[in-house]
Structure 1
Amino acid sequence: MIYTVTLNPSIDYVVKLNNLSTGDINRSSEEYVYPGGKGINVSLILKELGYKSNALGFISGFTGQYIESILNERGLNSDFIKLENGFTRINVKIKSNEETEINGQGPHISSEKLDKLYEKIESLNEDDILVLAGSIPSTLDEKLYENIMARIENKGIKVVVDATKNLLLNVLKYKPFLIKPNNIELEEMFNVKLETTEDIVLYANKLKEMGAKNVLVSMGKDGGLLVTEDNKVLKSSVAKGEVKNSVGAGDSMVGGFIAGYLKNKSYEEALKLGAASGSATAFSYDLATSDFINELLEQINIEYIN
């Protein structure tokens, strides 16, 4: 079974405006409401591609109930821990001449509730995949991902980590199966400017040397690059389309990669399906559908750099 962890899920309220005028009344031209959170996005893409997963994390209040009900309607398994205080956050995403986001904080998570999450994760076994995605709420220890991986270190669980800078760097000692920085995050980790594909390969290899088994770098309009556990370097081409939504594209790439890998343990197929899934979401207003992913899959080519 695949398990995804979203510590601070959200309702994403997406508003489209012809022009945003601050300090004035604005009227939307389009509105959408989605369940949000990186782990949830991964689970939803896996569901589209025919793979079951179980979404873990914390929810609270009427907004948390809404997320749970929507995921149930979509046929997604979830096992959220319910909090008594506050409410699951609402993120407002304004799409106008520029994209503007206002992200809520989310409720406080007590140590007792956190222990319940640990218990659920410690019940996993070596046939399972665990996806740790997104930021850690300010009310929790920033070493939470490290603590989780330490607890399951010797169980043979494949752990996928999609997080930024130190959250990612600090888990490498536990040898995650896959990490997925983007090229900008890679620059921030090493305080460098990456000018070429060779530069990206160099620093992706450094992450591998630090402990990651596989390093997947999303590069936006330049596709994706994968350094595998057997020291192969693969690069994907890019599908053609109009970018409508940057939110969730990286999560879709992770979901597609996992689904592609599980088919026959082929990293080439994993990268290809990951690239198609990421592009399909970028070209959609919501997360991509399986039909659109499969349509774009025909456009994706994989090149072996070495």
Structure 2
Amino acid sequence: MIYTVTFNPSLDYIIQVNRFQVGTINKTNFEKILPGGKGINVSIVLSNLGHDSTALGFTAGFTGKEIENRMKDFGCKTDFIHVKEGLSRINVKMKSDEETEINGQGPKISEENIQELFDKLNTLTSDDILVISGSIPSTLPDDMYERIMKHFQDKNIRIVVDATKNLMMKVLQYKPFLIKPNNIELGELFNVTLNTQEEVIPYAQKLQEMGAQNVLISMAGKGAVFIDENKHIYQSIAPKGTVVNSVGAGDSMVAGFISGYLETSGNYEHAFKKGICSGSASAFSENLCTKKEVENLLNTL
């Protein structure tokens, strides 16, 4: 089974307003509500690609229940921890002359809730894959990633980490199965600017030297680079298409990689290509990618 953890899931209220004006009433001409969060996106894309997963995390109140309902609409299994205090957040994403986002806070998560999460994670075995991704809410300790990685370091569970800056660097010592920064995030880790695949490679190798087993670097329209646990380097251009919405593209790449890895019993080249095509297919669509969209792009690589 694949498990995803989203520490602070949301309902994303996506609206479009013509020429938004401050201090007056504005009317929407488009609106949509989706469950949000990086791990949630991974679960949705996995479901679209035909893989079962269980979404874990913390939810609260009526918004938390609606997140669960909408996840089930996508065919996803959920096993969220229901927090007593507060509400799952609503994030407003407004498209107008400029894009504006207002993100909610989320519920207050207690030590008891954290222990509940670990109780659920303790049921995982070496046959499972765990994806932990996204930011840490202020009500959680900032070492949550490390606590999870340390807890499982002797259990041979394949853990995928998609995080930025210190969250990423601090878990490398626990040898995550896969990490997936983009080239901008990779550059921030080492205080450099990385524009080409050739520039990315030595810094991806550094992350591997620091402990990561497999390193996947997304580069938007410039393609991607992947270094597997055997130190083999894969490079690919990006599939051709028109970018409609880049939100969730990185999460789709993670899901596509896992899908390709599992369906070929560990063929890294196929996993890499399916990851690229899944990320691109989501970027070329208003919604997260479908199986057919991914397969269409795979035929072009």
Q: Decide: shared fold, TM above 0.5.
A: yes
Q: Does 1:62 align with 2:65?
A: no
Equivalent residue, structure 1, for 2:110 = 110
Q: Is the 8 A contact 2:183 2:195 kept in 1?
A: no
Name the aligned partner's letter for residue 28 of structure 1.
T
- Structure 1 segment 73-84 matched on structure 2, within 5 A: 73-84=73-84
Could you say which residue in structure 2 is the equivalent of 1:161?
Answer: 161
Please name the residue that 1:152 is paired with: 152
TM-score (norm 1): 0.95
Question: What percent identity do the matched residue pairs reach?
Answer: 55
Gaps of 5+ in 1: 302-306
Does structure 1 residue 203 correspond to structure 2 residue 203? yes
Equivalent residues in 2 for 1:245-256 (5 A)?
Answer: 245-256=245-256
* C-alpha distance after superposition, 1:83-141 (max 9, x if no partner): 11111001111122332211111011000011000111122111110000101111111
Correspondence for 1:284:
285
Give the partner amino acid of 2:11.
I
How far, CA to CA, are the matches of 1:99 and 1:223 in structure 2?
Answer: 25
What is the TM-score when the length of structure 2 is the normalising length?
A: 0.97
Q: Which residue of structure 2 aligns with residue 176 of structure 1?
A: 176
Once the two structures are TM-superposed, the CA of residue 251 in structure 1 deviates from its matched residue by 0.3
Distance 1:282 1:195, change over 3 A: closer
Aligned ranges 1:262-281 → 2 under 5 Å: 262-264=262-264, 265-281=266-282
**In structure 2, distance between residues paired with 1:201 and 1:101:** 33
Distance of aligned partners of 1:10 and 1:73 in 2 relative to their CA distance in 1, 3 Å threshold = same
CA contact (8 A) 1:122 1:151 kept: no
Which amino acid in structure 1 is aligned with residue 243 of structure 2?
V
Alignment match, 1:33? 33
For residue 221 of structure 1, what is the aligned residue in structure 2? 221
2: CA distance between counterparts of 1:6 and 1:268? 28
165-174 or 235-244, which moves further after superposition? 235-244
> Size of the alignment, in residue pairs?
300
For the residue of structure 2 that corresponds to 1:216, the secondary structure is: strand
Counterparts in 2 of 1:20 and 1:233: CA distance versus 1, 3 Å: farther
CA distance in 2, matches of 1:22, 1:241: 35
Gaps of 5+ in 2: none
Q: Partners of 2:224 and 2:169 in 1: how far apart? A: 20
SS at match of 2:28: coil
Partner of 2:238: 238
| Aligned position for 1:90 | 90
Alignment of 1:121-140 (within 5 A): 121-140=121-140
Conservation of the 8 A alpha-carbon contact between 1:12 and 1:33: yes
CA offsets 1:17-63 (integer angstroms, 9 cap, x no match) = 33333333322221111000111110111111111111000100011
2:197/2:224 contact within 8 Å kept: no
Match of 2:16 in 1: 16
Q: Give the Cα separation in 2 of the matches to 1:297 and 1:94.
A: 33
Task: Spell out, residue by residue over 1:132-190, the C-alpha distance to the aligned partner (whole angstroms, 9 max, x if none).
Answer: 01011111111111101111111110000000110000000000000000111011111
> Match for residue 298 of structure 1?
299
Deviation at 1:69, TM superposition (A): 1.1
Alpha-carbon distance in structure 2 between the residues aligned to 1:97 and 1:261: 41
C-alpha distance in 2 between matches for 1:94 and 1:296: 30
